[in-house]
Amino acid sequence: MEAFSLSPLETEALGLSLRVALWCVALTLPLAIAVAWLLARLDFPGKAVVDAMVHLPLVLPPVVVGYGLLLALGRRGPLGAWLYDVFGITVAFTWEGAVVASAVMAFPLMVRAIRLSIEAVDRGLESAARTLGSTPLGVFFSITLPLAWPGILTGMVLGFARSLGEFGATITFVSNIPGETRTLPLALFGLIQVPGNEGAALRLVVLSTLLAFAALVGSELAARRIRARMEG
Residue 4 pLDDT exceeds 70 = no
Count the residues in the chain: 232
| Greater model confidence, 140 or 218 | 140
Q: Left, alpha or beta for 173 (phi > 0: left; psi -120 to 50: alpha)? A: alpha
CATH no., domain 7-231: 1.10.3720.10
Integer Cα distance of 11 and 185 in angstroms: 13
Percent with pLDDT over 90 in the chain = 58
| Greater model confidence, 221 or 5 | 221
Integer Cα distance of 65 and 58 in angstroms: 10
Tabulate helix, strand, coil % of the chain (nearest 5). 80, 0, 20
Residue 2 pLDDT exceeds 60 = no
Q: What is the DSSP string of 75-111?
A: TTSHHHHHHHHHH----TTSHHHHHHHHHHHHHHHHH
Give, as one character, the DSSP assignment of residue 181: T
Percent with pLDDT over 70 in the chain = 97
Q: Of 31, 35, 207, which Cα lies nearest the Cα of 103?
A: 31
Domain ranges for the chain: 7-231
Judged by average pLDDT, the poorest of 90-99, 107-116, 188-197 is 188-197
Q: Of 64, 82, 62, which Cα lies nearest the Cα of 74?
A: 82
How many helices (DSSP H) and strands (DSSP E) are in the chain? 12, 0
Residue 37 pLDDT exceeds 70 = yes
Q: Residue 224 — very low, low, confident or very high, per pLDDT cuts 50/70/90? A: confident
Most distant pair of Cα atoms in the chain: their distance:
69
Residue 99 pLDDT exceeds 70 = yes
pLDDT value at position 1? 44
As a whole number, mean pLDDT of residues 5-14 equals 84
Integer Cα distance of 4 and 166 in angstroms: 23
pLDDT in tens, 117-159: 999 888 888 889 888 888 888 889 988 999 898 889 989 999 9
